[in-house]
Homo-oligomer: A and B are copies of this chain.
Amino acid sequence: MPEEKTFHMTPDEFRRHGHAVVDWIADYQTRVETLPVLSRVKPGEIRASLPGAAPAQGEPFDRILADVGKLILPGITHWQSPNFYAYFPCNASGPAILGDLLSSGLGVQGMLWATSPACTELETHVLDWLVTMLDLPRKFLSTESGGGVVQDTASSASLCALLAARERATNFASNQNGCGGKLVAYASSQAHSSIEKGVQIAGLGRRNLRLIAVDGNFAMRPDALALEIEKDRRAGLIPCFVCATVGTTSSNAIDPVPEIGRICREHKIWLHVDAAMSGTAALCPEFRHIHEGIEFADSYTFNPHKWMFTNFDCNCLYVADRGSLIQTLSVLPEYLRNKATESGAVIDYRDWQIPLGRRFRSLKLWFVIRHYGIEGLQYHIRRHVELAQQLVDWIRKDNRFELAAPAPLNLVCFRHKGGDEVNQSLMDRLNRSGDIYLTHTRLNDRLTLRLCVGQANTTARHVKRAWQRIQSEAATIL
């Protein structure tokens, strides 16, 4: 055979270029605060700057890296800017990025225990740590009847929970026979859109999702839930899944989980608790009241990639009875059979998720927890809540503005009293300025601004400046 030629980057080249990329990111971290938060490009502008066809010959790495700054950066909305207050945050941190880098470098695919035991066992272990760290019920521990798994997003996690609920409610026959049109799911009218999407994907049909009315604080009304369940039962339908939200996307409303949980228990309905954003707050004992009633939950999910300084993607899903989840999602072809799986002594996480393949994502979570320690994580969560509460005070004292919903943690919903048009214009001007980025929702059918204090590097001076900008922009409008 001929001498081997290669187009691969050698380890030494990797070392050199890798240092350059690390330096690029460190520089980015230093200057991100000075960049306009919301990208100003127009649709098609980035594409138009790219060559029409892939290069026939390889290009030097330096040129590729230079193009990131030149061609890509103008099209970036800076989620890692301390001036980012939009949606919910999507945090990164040094230890997370480096844990993720090691995951890419090791390049393992952890679909089975056997395909990299450490990938599975570190995940199980760190997710058990988090049960203690958040003071979740012991049934979610892998050493008890349950266990945790890392998923890409809360959308996927909630879908998995819904599928397990669907199966359990049909005595594990829906995988075999399909849905039959009688299964019903419930969530509040303020629940995340992923519940609606999940109900469609899982074949229940949107018409079998009941969006339950909320109270004045935008939290689910348990009496309305109970009524709907009774009505559905009388109509011969089968209630199978309730999603309670701890911290809704619109306004951070916290559904009354204890009352909802008792209803689910009475009717033997799977209770899923979606704490995607707010769950992280339970790292601090003083915020653990948000999880009141969680002992009723069959599944629970929260996103370290939102507020726990672990870069996207990293969602944690817990189930109280891992058997139901595994029985729902397991399909075992010959080419995946192996002795460890057949021994029953190991976890194969492919049976805990939609995809087969999986990345070594617990590495970054492990890095984050070890770098910050519980103390460091608590410090920054408390600080974000303090800063948001400071903003609440400022809004209360400015009679041009009003709060639009309670702010139990770090999301502040407020509006200018001048009406929808003023608020739309205020938001557009602020976002166009590049100084801050915030987004909106509608509460009681009125346009409402949402400002979430949760980006890792947001500190007092940023929030102070954000409020000053909001005030001065409001003064300009009127």
Task: Judge if A194 is at the interface, Cβ distance under 8 Å.
Answer: yes
Task: Judge if A54 is at the interface, Cβ distance under 8 Å.
Answer: yes
Task: Judge if A95 is at the interface, Cβ distance under 8 Å.
Answer: yes
The minimal Cβ–Cβ distance linking A188 to chain B, given in whole angstroms, is 13
Extra contacts besides A9-B94, A11-B29, A175-B205 (5): CB < 8 Å: A57-B376, A90-B109, A156-B354, A175-B200, A177-B207
Contact indicator A156/B197 (Cβ below 8 Å)? no
Within 8 A of B (CB), among A322-352: 329, 331-337, 340, 343, 345-346
Contact indicator A460/B1 (Cβ below 8 Å)? yes
CB-CB under 8 A from A193, the residues of chain B are 331-333, 336, 356
Please give me the residue from chain B that is nearest to A17 by CB atom. B98
CB-CB under 8 A from A178, the residues of chain B are 179-181, 183, 203-205, 207-208
The interface bits of chain A over 4-34 (1 if a CB of B lies within 8 angstroms of the residue's CB, else 0) are 1111111111110111011111111110000
Contact indicator A102/B25 (Cβ below 8 Å)? yes
A267 to B62, CA, bound (A): 52
Known: A21-B101, A56-B374, A200-B175. A109 touches B367 (CB 8 A): no
A23 to B14, CA, bound (A): 9
Q: Which of A213-221, A226-234, A290-298, A436-444 participates in binding chain B?
A: A436-444
Task: Judge if A87 is at the interface, Cβ distance under 8 Å.
Answer: yes
Task: Judge if A117 is at the interface, Cβ distance under 8 Å.
Answer: yes
29 contacts between A and B (CB under 8 A): A4-B460, A7-B375, A17-B94, A18-B22, A25-B105, A43-B117, A45-B121, A46-B117, A47-B121, A53-B132, A55-B369, A56-B373, A58-B371, A58-B373, A75-B117, A79-B106, A80-B107, A87-B335, A90-B357, A100-B100, A101-B104, A104-B311, A155-B356, A159-B354, A175-B205, A176-B207, A193-B331, A194-B355, A196-B331
Q: How many residues of A contact B (CB 8 A)?
A: 169
A166 to B10, CA, bound (A): 47
Please give me the residue from chain B that is nearest to A18 by CB atom. B22
Q: Which secondary structure dominates chain A's binding surface?
A: helix
Q: Which of A122-130, A253-261, A398-406, A468-476 participates in binding chain B?
A: A122-130
CB-CB under 8 A from A376, the residues of chain B are 7, 57-58
Choose one: B47, B56, B180; the contact of A375 (CB below 8 Å): B56
Contact indicator A335/B450 (Cβ below 8 Å)? yes
A405 to B90, CA, bound (A): 48
Choose one: B72, B124, B181; the contact of A47 (CB below 8 Å): B124
Contact indicator B76/A106 (Cβ below 8 Å)? yes
CB-CB under 8 A from A174, the residues of chain B are 203, 205
A367 to B29, CA, bound (A): 21
Contact indicator A179/B179 (Cβ below 8 Å)? yes
Please give me the residue from chain B that is nearest to A81 by CB atom. B107
Task: Judge if A313 is at the interface, Cβ distance under 8 Å.
Answer: yes
List 7 tightest A-B contacts by C-beta distance, closest first: A203-B203, A75-B118, A9-B94, A178-B205, A7-B376, A18-B22, A25-B105
Within 8 A of B (CB), among A420-454: 439-442, 450
Task: Judge if A116 is at the interface, Cβ distance under 8 Å.
Answer: yes
Please give me the residue from chain B that is nearest to A208 by CB atom. B178
Please give me the residue from chain B that is nearest to A157 by CB atom. B355
The interface bits of chain A over 167-194 (1 if a CB of B lies within 8 angstroms of the residue's CB, else 0) are 0000000111111110100000000111
Within 8 A of B (CB), among A80-120: 80, 86-87, 90-98, 100-102, 104-109, 113-119
Task: Judge if A390 is at the interface, Cβ distance under 8 Å.
Answer: yes
Task: Judge if A262 is at the interface, Cβ distance under 8 Å.
Answer: no
Contact indicator B14/A97 (Cβ below 8 Å)? yes
Please give me the residue from chain B that is nearest to A206 by CB atom. B176
Please give me the residue from chain B that is nearest to A250 by CB atom. B335
Known: A5-B379, A313-B359, A355-B152. A76 touches B116 (CB 8 A): yes
Please give me the residue from chain B that is nearest to A2 by CB atom. B460
Task: Judge if A61 is at the interface, Cβ distance under 8 Å.
Answer: yes
A334 to B447, CA, bound (A): 10
Choose one: B4, B68, B367; the contact of A64 (CB below 8 Å): B367
Contact indicator B43/A357 (Cβ below 8 Å)? no
Please give me the residue from chain B that is nearest to A200 by CB atom. B175
